[in-house]
């Protein structure tokens, strides 16, 4: 059983920096990282290089994989892609299921990916906010019982919250800024949160989500 779980949100997204990207993209629901996001991912890898992380498990979407790949390279670890840690499958944002790239194609791009790993949970589409939190909680419970030692989870904001609440009974307030860190520790039969939303390792000011982004996203989704 795992004893420590680190949870990180992906870095700043490509479509947050380039508001026209979605209208040009072949896969508009699966952005990578912006230039700022790449720097955040590098900072995250440097922060975690001294930690005794034994497994890296990431959402299969491009932005989380790119984020995880930097730490995987720094720690010389493989990445397990877990669909149960994937994006919230909400119908208000997506017209259809936002599937990530097939694992073979993703592994061709990122050799750190373990092609043999099979996801514990496959999300349904659509799912409510409550269902996404529950799915994240069920996923992390399975993961901590499958893996031993210290885990790094790279996921999305809402799913990060569900991951914490799936282990910590008190459901504490959590923060998941881009490439921010939350740490959970198991001891005396229960999980406790050591800290949440740590960003002291980031070398540049945080890059906020443009206010216009949500408006543009609604226009694209409902075309």
How many angstroms separate the Cα of 175 from the Cα of each of 38, 41, 157, 198? 20, 17, 8, 8
- Residue that is written with structure tokens 């947050």 in the block: 16
pLDDT at 222 over 80: no
| Model confidence, pTM | 0.93
In whole angstroms, what is the distance from residue 151 CA to residue 42 CA?
18
Q: Which pLDDT tens digit goes with each residue over 117-133?
A: 999 999 999 999 999 99
Give me the residues paired with residue 181 across strands: 8, 198
- Please give the average per-residue pLDDT across 143-150, as a whole number: 97
pLDDT at 84 over 50: yes
pLDDT at 2 over 90: yes
How many angstroms separate the Cα of 18 from the Cα of each of 14, 109, 219? 6, 23, 16
In whole angstroms, what is the distance from residue 14 CA to residue 34 CA?
4
pLDDT at 71 over 90: yes
Residue 208 — pLDDT band, cuts 50, 70, 90?
low
The reported pLDDT for the residue numbered 218 is: 47
In whole angstroms, what is the distance from residue 113 CA to residue 63 CA?
14
Residue 223 — pLDDT band, cuts 50, 70, 90?
very low
pLDDT at 114 over 80: yes
155-181 as b/e, with b when 16 or more CB fall inside 10 Å?
bbbbbbbbbbbbbeeeeeebebbbbbb
Which residue ranges form the domains of the chain, and what is each CATH number?
2-221 (3.40.50.1240)
In whole angstroms, what is the distance from residue 218 CA to residue 43 CA?
32
């Amino acid at each position: 059983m795992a004893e420590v779980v680190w949870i990180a949100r992906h870095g700043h997204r490509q479509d947050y920096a380039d508001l026209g990207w979605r209208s040009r993209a072949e896969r508009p629901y699966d952005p990578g990282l912006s230039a700022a996001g790449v720097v955040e991912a590098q900072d995250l890898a440097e922060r975690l290089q001294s930690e005794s992380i034994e497994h890296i498990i990431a959402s299969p979407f491009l932005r989380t994989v790119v984020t995880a790949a930097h730490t995987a390279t720094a720690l010389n670890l493989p990445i397990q892609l877990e669909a149960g840690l994937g994006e919230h499958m909400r119908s208000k944002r997506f017209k259809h299921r936002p599937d990530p790239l097939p694992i073979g194609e993703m592994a061709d791009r990122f050799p750190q990916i373990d092609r043999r790993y099979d996801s514990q949970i496959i999300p349904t589409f659509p799912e409510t906010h409550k269902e996404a939190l529950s799915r994240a909680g069920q996923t992390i419970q399975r993961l901590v019982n499958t893996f031993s030692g210290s885990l790094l989870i790279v996921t999305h904001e809402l799913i990060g919250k569900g991951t914490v609440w799936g282990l910590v009974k008190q459901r504490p307030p959590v923060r998941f800024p881009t490439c921010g860190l939350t740490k959970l520790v198991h001891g005396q039969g229960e999980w406790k949160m050591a800290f949440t939303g740590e960003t002291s390792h980031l070398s540049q000011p945080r890059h906020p989500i443009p206010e216009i982004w949500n408006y543009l996203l609604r226009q694209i989704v409902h075309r």
